[in-house]
Amino acid sequence: MDINFEQNLINLRSQAPLVQNITNFVVMNFTANALLAAGASPVMAHAAEEVEDMVAIAGALVVNIGTLSPPWVAGMKLAMKRAAELNKPIVLDPVGAGATPYRNAVLNELLTIASPTIIRGNASEIMALAGTNIRTKGVDSTAVSLDSLEAATALSLKYGSVVSVSGATDLIVSGQKIAYVENGVPLMTRITGMGCSASAIAGAFVAIQSNPFEAAIFAAVMMGVCGEMAFQKTQLPGSFQIAFLDALAEITPQNLQVSSRVK
């Protein structure tokens, strides 16, 4: 697939888009650092009293439902409504979709308010969101990405969203268009916050890129290539997190272009 990864990373770093994240307690610090290392500017505001104002100045909104509570859900609803009104791109990370009735109900409410520009999750989450009869293991996937192609396509057509499915091979689906990203290492599945950071990085790219299909591909490739770079330095989970953040900062546009494996 002929995509200019090099120029898009240059654009990301030169524009440093503000990415508004309503995300979860578990990953908030790591996600913010990942955005900073990549070259974007994070803001992690979730209070209902200010999210509409924050969305107005942001380049994109990322909503991650990892640690739900009613006050946070109220902020998510207001933020998504305001983003839709302002035509700001929205990335939805349906963490743990299918795990509990409450989580499913919140997702249904959010999807009624606005259609996300990008929906990014693991195979089980995407299949649950599409109504496939599957139950997730907490926030972990019990299916592989290739199993979710039909569900991802259905979601994409229903909401007009690009659907990005993480796995050994990442799937990026936009209607009938499909890209397969083969970058990454298995250790990434043993580090909390990797998927959430992938959603945030997708938000950074879609903030500067008018083509959300390509933005989702850029994010998946950058995450995967940086994971490969980090794995060359360490194979232990603690030090891998630091090496991964370093890789996000160190990677050159040329290296990203050469190392990408997209079909």
pLDDT tens digits for 64-86?
999 999 999 999 999 999 999 99
Task: Give mean pLDDT, residues 147-151.
Answer: 92
How would residue 2 be classed by pLDDT, with cut points 50, 70 and 90?
Answer: confident
CA distance 217 to 163: 10
Q: What is the pLDDT of residue 146?
A: 79
Least confidently predicted of 11-20, 108-117, 138-147, 169-178? 138-147
Q: What is the pLDDT of residue 3?
A: 85
Q: What is the pLDDT of residue 141?
A: 46
Give the containing element (helix H, strand E) for 22.
Answer: strand 18-22
CA distance 225 to 91: 21
User: Per-residue pLDDT for 229 more than 90?
Assistant: yes
193 is in an annotated binding site: yes
> Is 3.40.1190.20 the CATH classification of the domain at 5-259?
yes
Residue matched to tokens 């990953």: 27
Q: What is the pLDDT of residue 121?
A: 97
Average pLDDT of the chain is 95
Higher pLDDT, 132 or 158: 158
- For 243-260, the pLDDT digits (tens) are 999 999 999 999 999 999
Contact criterion met (CB below 8 Å) for 181 and 166:
no
How would residue 144 be classed by pLDDT, with cut points 50, 70 and 90?
Answer: low
Half-sphere exposure (Cβ direction) of 43: Cα atoms closer than 13 Å: 20
Distance (Å) of CA 120 to CA 51, 124, 141, 195: 21, 11, 13, 8
What's the pTM?
0.94
Q: Which residues contact 261 (CB under 8 A, 6 or more apart)?
A: 181, 182, 183, 221, 224
The structure tokens listed for 246 are 């370093």
44 is in an annotated binding site: yes
User: Per-residue pLDDT for 241 more than 50?
Assistant: yes
User: Per-residue pLDDT for 179 more than 80?
Assistant: yes
**Region for residue 14 given its phi and psi (left: phi exceeds 0; alpha: psi -120 to 50; beta: otherwise):** alpha
- For 195-213, the pLDDT digits (tens) are 999 999 999 999 999 999 9
